[in-house]
Amino acid sequence: MEKIVFTNGCFDIVHPGHIDLLRRARGFGTKLIVGINSDRSVSQIKGPGRPVVDEDARRDVLLGIKWVDEVVIFDEPTPAALIAELQPDVLVKGGDWKPHEIIGADVVLAKGGEVHSLPLLDGYSSSAVIEKLKTTADSPNAKPARDPLNSLDEHLAVMDTVSVSCRGSIDACAQILVDAVKSGSKVLICGNGGSAADAQHIAAEFVGRYETERRALPAIALTTDTSALTALANDYSFERIFARQVEALASAGDVLIAISTSGTSPNVIAAVMEARGKGCKIVGMTGEQGKKLASLSDACLIVPSRRTARIQEAHITVAHIWCEIIDTALLEARN
């Protein structure tokens, strides 16, 4: 009797960690189907400059691995629709994904299937390989100590890159928000740690800006005292502080703006999973390492930086741009 196993990923620059995961995944069944993100989808969740290897070449490489029986390219940020179509018996992801964070787990478990989060082989990552190559190409020598007075130049460089490379994602996020405003849906906003301040700032901007649309746009920051709530949640490992609020406040068709500079905040990811389960749209805001949040979002702004301050500055700036786009859409609708 055939037992179908499904796993997915970008598989940009296949390495021994990928091979190990595919080998173990195949061991759970008789056929292994691998879903890979299209080039457009990879760019959406990894940011500018990715993928390094195009989708057809990535598919051919995977088909050359003896444990892989079939490769399917999907164009969406997540493989949710593909999993619903294939109805696999077993769902497998790497150990950086907790079982409740795995897209499609609900579909597989509902039919009595299995969901596995497998420990990753240490020391391997496509992003690490790419970063090593970039560092070697830039300079073989140690970089000089950071001069704090250069932060303004760094800020301008990041914003220039955002302006050039992130226009598509900025617009995609804005269109989700425009649709929410026009339909009278709620916009909920959460951010953990330092991003809680971003969430509060953006919520204040939304509420204060749309005086005539407040009933149609009740923008809610899922924090009342940003520092106290997120500090307590983090200190006591309470990972559902935002998810519980989403559970109470969100409805199908609402939008959650989820902010995490790392893209891995357990509180934010839990809120995203709760919102997805309720049929909400997800707008992500993260930094260049925020693959997890980006891959769970319907649209995501990935700021091309690893410095928290630069990422947060860009988040607030882009939120103002979203407001301008919404303003324009509302004006056109009235006319």
Asked if residues 280 and 262 have their Cβ atoms less than 8 Å apart, the reply is no
Confidence band, pLDDT 50/70/90 cuts, at residue 206: confident
pLDDT at 304 over 80: yes
Which CATH number does the domain housing residue 294 bear?
3.40.50.10490
Question: Quick count: other Cβ atoms within 10 Å of Cβ 106?
Answer: 17
Of 276, 268, 180, give the one whose Cα is nearest residue 287: 268
Residue 134 domain flag: no
* The last residue of a domain, from among 73, 101, 127: 127
pTM of the model: 0.84
Alpha-carbon distance 301 to 324, whole Å? 16
pLDDT tens-digit series, residues 75-112: 998 999 999 999 999 999 999 899 999 999 999 999 99
Quick one: tokens of 292?
């997890």
Q: How many domains does the chain have?
A: 2
Which CATH number does the domain housing residue 48 bear?
3.40.50.620
Asked if residues 314 and 158 have their Cβ atoms less than 8 Å apart, the reply is yes
Report how far apart the first and last C-alpha atoms of the chain are (Å, whole number).
Answer: 62
Residue 147 domain flag: no
Residue 88 domain flag: yes
Instruction: Tell me which residue range forms the domain holding 119.
Output: 4-127
Same structural domain, 173 and 270: yes
pLDDT tens-digit series, residues 288-301: 999 999 999 999 99
